[in-house]
Chain A
Amino acid sequence: MTALLEVNDVTKRFGGLTAVKGVTFKLQKGEITGVLGPNGAGKTTLFNMLTGFMQPTAGTVTFNGEPLKNLAPYQVVNRGMARTFQLCRPFVGMNLLENVVVACLSPRANSDKDKEDRAQHLLEQVGLGGRGSEPVETPPYGDLRRLEIARALATRPDLLLLDEPFAGLGSSEIEPLAQLIKKLHREEHLTILLIEHKLREFMALVSRVIAMNFGEVIAIGPPEEIVKNPKVIEAYIGKTEDAHASA
């Protein structure tokens, strides 16, 4: 069986800085995989390269058996890879429903007759049912995150990339969102790749972890192995005096 996503030796340099260095991994269909790493490890840069927001300096990304080279972000989305942003970026001046309708108009989603109906249904699916007419400026951050997920789902993705889905959420919002992600994975047969800082939620959610530090993959494996991996501990806790806990 071929992998859904194959990342092969991907590197991104910004001038003298190498943000991502020779990253290689595969995602199988139906997996929930997490990318773990401290700030500045290159996780978001990696996401940006996968989704076409940046082009890699070297290396290849293959999705569904096709190389993603020089594609604009919207083209990547229409091949079935959707993403959310770390900072929620809704369309201001619109209501929640309209925010989702926009994505329902993308070529990949465009088969439905009634976009409003489908958007309504997606809002229900992420737990925002009946709130379509609310302006996007009012809801709490956790709901905007759900809105981002609904917008991504509207494009009928095979692979969903979540960039720090728990960032900026209150403690009461985290667990329900984790449940939502699990539910989507189960019911929609989605393959999910997510970036996260918060170790506990993360470890409970994913079946496999790609640990990064300074732009490189330092370990890949199931979460229970990763937390024992000395390199990962070093990256997170530091060796001796440099004690900096990020979870």
Chain B
Amino acid sequence: MKRISWIDIAGGIVVVAILALAPVFAASNYLTGVLTVCVIYGIWASSWDFMSGLTGRENFGHSLFIGAGAYTAGFMATIWFTNPWYSIPASIVVAVTFSLIVGFPTLRLRGPYFALAMLSASAILQRLCLIFWEYTGGEEGLYGLDPMMRSPLHYYWFVLAILVVTVIILTLLARSHWGLLLRAIRGDEATCQAAGINVTFYKIAALAISAAFAGLGGALYAHYQLQVSPPLFSVVTSITVIIMCYVGGIGSIYGAAIAAILLTLLTEMLRGFGEYRLWIYTLTLILILFFLPNGMVAPFWRRLTERFR
């Protein structure tokens, strides 16, 4: 519906080129590893932004889908010893199933039920991982997953390609009539109903799409770390993703992806500060959100490119 302007495409190509070439010039496995995690966070954040950023229904348990995807990969690798590539479709199916289980009863309702249900569902799964430690490995998690590719650099490029495809699909959806309906839900649900729109259906469908990409990201993460553990399900994971989306500029999708990459890099760079790291990170976030309540990445990009549109 809305055309994507050439400047956005050009900007996207430049960013992807920088990301793709950075590890070639720096040639360090450490950097490749950090960037892989950055890009996976990008997938998680942009998938959150698609559902919650557009419809305004905050999902406080995105880690449910991330963890479900990762543990699916973990179980497949450690119990059935399947080819790592099968983890991708399996994790998507499992994450979408979870999204329907939570979405059906709670997205019919207005109010905070959905946010709370997602939060509790992710917390419950984290507990279940500890309770059924015989199967899940408890705190230790599951070990010994096979990598999808030998070369970390190739895997990084693969994950980066998935992020690019994710952002493109979600952006096209967001700019289509579908996205318009999701933004209408954010505006006013009663008016949506009066316009003849089945609000619940669109919310559940958006959540399922969001879950599919989050679960995929979870599996990619599992096959990068070669290990999965309960903190994947934690609230911290969910909140981290939400903060990334706010810094990126809610509802912009590409903003969430880029903010995820920048913030993950920032956390890594602050490692040298030891214990002060969290302080600096938190302070930076507070400053960003205080001075730029609409986010940083997307508004900045829009202003920068205003005259080319």
Contact = CB atoms under 8 A, between A and B. Distances in A.
Interface of A: 51-53, 72-74, 77-78, 82-85, 89-94, 98, 101-103, 105-109, 115-116, 151-152, 154-155
Most central of A98, A108, A109, A154 by chain B CB within 10 Å? A98
A112 to B, nearest CB: 12
Contact of B186 (A74, A93, A116): A93
B188 A74 contact: no
A91 B188 contact: yes
A53 B190 contact: yes
Given A73-B193, A102-B181, A155-B196, 17 more contacts: A53-B190, A73-B194, A74-B193, A74-B195, A77-B193, A77-B195, A85-B190, A85-B191, A90-B188, A91-B184, A91-B188, A91-B192, A92-B187, A94-B183, A103-B196, A151-B195, A152-B194
A105 to B, nearest CB: 6
Nearest to B198: A74
B180 A77 contact: no
B16 interface: no
Contacts of A98: 180
B198 to A, nearest CB: 5
B302 interface: no
Interface of B: 1, 177, 180-181, 183-184, 186-188, 190-199
Contact of B184 (A72, A73, A102, A115): A102
Contacts of B187: 90-94
12 contacts: A51-B194, A53-B190, A74-B195, A77-B193, A89-B188, A90-B187, A90-B191, A93-B183, A94-B187, A98-B180, A105-B181, A108-B196
Given A89-B188, A89-B190, A77 B196 contact: yes
A55 to B, nearest CB: 14
Contacts of B197: 74, 102-103, 105-106
B191 A109 contact: no
Nearest to B196: A106
Complex A-B, nearest 6 residue pairs according to Cβ-Cβ distance, in ascending order: A106-B196, A91-B187, A103-B195, A77-B196, A73-B193, A102-B184
A47 B177 CA distance: 30
A103 B177 CA distance: 11
Nearest to B194: A83
Contacts of B191: 85, 89-91, 151
A85 B194 CA distance: 9
Contacts of B1: 116
Nearest to A78: B196
A82 B180 contact: no
A103 B181 CA distance: 9
B194 A102 contact: no
A101 B175 CA distance: 13
Given A85-B191, A105-B177, A91 B183 contact: yes
Contacts of A89: 188, 190-191, 194
A83 B188 CA distance: 15
A109 B196 contact: yes
B203 to A, nearest CB: 13
Contacts of B193: 52-53, 72-74, 77
Most central of B180, B188, B194, B199 by chain A CB within 10 Å? B194
B293 to A, nearest CB: 15
Nearest to B108: A72
Given A53-B190, A85-B191, A115-B177, A107 B196 contact: yes
Given A101-B177, A105-B177, A106-B197, A74 B183 contact: no
A102 B183 CA distance: 10
A90 B190 CA distance: 10
Nearest to B200: A72
B301 to A, nearest CB: 19
Contacts of A82: 194, 196
B201 to A, nearest CB: 9
Contacts of A106: 195-197
A116 B186 CA distance: 21
Nearest to A52: B193
Contacts of B195: 74, 77, 102-103, 105-106, 151, 154-155
Most central of B194, B196, B197, B198 by chain A CB within 10 Å? B196
Nearest to A51: B194
B184 to A, nearest CB: 5
A94 B193 CA distance: 17
Most central of B1, B177, B187, B195 by chain A CB within 10 Å? B195
A84 B195 CA distance: 10
A53 B197 CA distance: 14
A215 to B, nearest CB: 23
Contacts of B184: 91, 94, 102
